[in-house]
Structure 1
Amino acid sequence: MLTIHGVTRSRASRIIWLCHEIGIEFEQVPVIQAYRLPDPDAPDAPLNTRSPQFLALSPASAIPVIEDGGLILSESMACTLYLARKYGQPFGPADPQEDALMMQWSFYAATAIEPDALTLLYLHGSGKTLSASDQAAVRNAAERLIRPLRVVENHLATHSHMVGGRFTVADINMAEVLRYAQSFDPLMERFGAIQAWLADCQTRPAFQKMWEARNAEPA
């Protein structure tokens, strides 16, 4: 059975969502991020990314990690792309061209969008009163996101999905990155096609199942 190491309140959400879409059974080991704990090295600390048994599996000290047979794989998008290829259509590529496009959009999300989207999540999404420097960081991140989000917006204005005219792993990878910026209305209200597509993605039963499990975890 597939094993997913990592709490759902992490990039493991992408893998879990895909597993629900495909119908893959999995065991989840709830490894939590060390930075969320007051003392991750304490003897009674829960299993976390600095726990020796997890470091033996992931020297990078990062979740998620999957185990599938003899394969140990880290990096969430590598995991989703691997599983999509293994289990095939409709969520995986039909041919090398679709495979390349799924990688293209996944890597674009990870490199051009995710860093600044995470800034919006961690600062604006925190619900805390922001310092002047944090407010500036939010404004700058939102400004930098306009160009890559315009690329995605223009694509979705003429395509129902990221690749192949159907819902695939590329939609999951992109949607989970864009979710980080989703609550920042001054930015997202400029991109109607993205908003409509995100709403469609997030009403899928598999997303809702993942989201329910995520919300059941401690914040």
Structure 2
Amino acid sequence: MLTIYGVYRSRATRTLWLAGELGIAYKHVPVIQARRLDNPLADTAPLNTLSPTFLTINPMGTIPCIQDDGIVLYESMAINLYLARKYGGPLAPKDLSEDGAVMQWSFFAATEIETQSLKISTTFAEDLAKTAAGKAVIDVAARLLQRPLRVLEQHLASHDYLISDRFTVADINVAEVVRYAQAHTALIDTYPALKAWLERCQSRPAFKAMWDARGAEAA
């Protein structure tokens, strides 16, 4: 059986959402980020990214991580592309052309959007968005996001989804990266096609189930 390691309040959301879309059976093992613990190596510490037992599975100590039929993967984009190809049906690329497009959009999100998007998410999460320092971080991140978000906006202005006008793993991978910037509503509102696409993705039952589970998890 597929095993997914990681808590919902991490990049594991993209894999847990995909697993829900695929409707596959899996075991979920919560692994918390060590940085969230005062002493991650204490005997009483919950399973975390520095726990020796987890490091025997994933020596990088990152989440998400999966085990599937003897295969171990611990890069979230690679995990999702693998699971889509193995189990995906319409969520997977149907030919080489779509495969290239799925990889392009996924890596585009990871390299061109995620770093700045995470800065926005972290600033809001730490309740710093209204401080002078926080506003400066958000302003710089938003400026650096303008070009990649414009690229998405131009594509989505004539497409309901990223690949062949059907929902695929590419939409999950990209939507979960763009979501980090979603708290900056003025930025997202600037791109109406992008905003509408994000709403379509997040209205799906599998996303809602994942998001409810995330909300029920300890912050």
Residue of structure 1 in register with 2:146 after alignment: 146
Q: Is residue 11 of structure 2 the alignment partner of residue 11 of structure 1? A: yes
Residue of structure 1 in register with 2:98 after alignment: 98
Residue of structure 1 in register with 2:29 after alignment: 29
**Cα contact 1:125–1:183 (8 A) shared by 2:** no
Shift of 1:132: 3.2
C-alpha change, 1:87 and 1:117, in structure 2 (3 Å) is same
Deviations 1:142-178 (A, max 9, x none): 1100110000010000111001210000000010001
Residue of structure 1 in register with 2:60 after alignment: 60
Residue of structure 2 in register with 1:51 after alignment: 51
Shift of 1:133: 3.2
Residue of structure 1 in register with 2:79 after alignment: 79
Q: Distance in 1 between matches of 2:175 and 2:104?
A: 14
Q: Distance in 1 between matches of 2:94 and 2:166?
A: 11
Residue 173 of structure 2 aligns with an amino acid whose one-letter code is N
1:82-161 alignment, distance < 5 Å: 82-128=82-128, 131-161=131-161
Q: Distance in 1 between matches of 2:130 and 2:75?
A: 31
Q: Secondary structure at the match of 2:79?
A: helix
Q: Secondary structure at the match of 1:67?
A: strand
Deviates more, 1:121-130 or 1:92-101: 121-130
- Please, which runs of 5 or more residues in structure 1 have no aligned partner? none
Residue of structure 2 in register with 1:40 after alignment: 40
**Cα contact 2:188–2:195 (8 A) shared by 1:** yes
Shift of 1:59: 1.2
Shift of 1:43: 1.4
Q: Distance in 1 between matches of 2:85 and 2:134?
A: 40
Q: Pairwise CA RMSD of aligned residues?
A: 1.1
TM (normalized to structure 1)?
0.97
Q: Secondary structure at the match of 1:123?
A: helix
Q: Structure 1 stretches (4+) deviating beyond 3 angstroms?
A: 128-134
Q: Secondary structure at the match of 2:159?
A: coil
Residue 154 of structure 1 aligns with an amino acid whose one-letter code is Q
- Please, which runs of 5 or more residues in structure 2 have no aligned partner? none
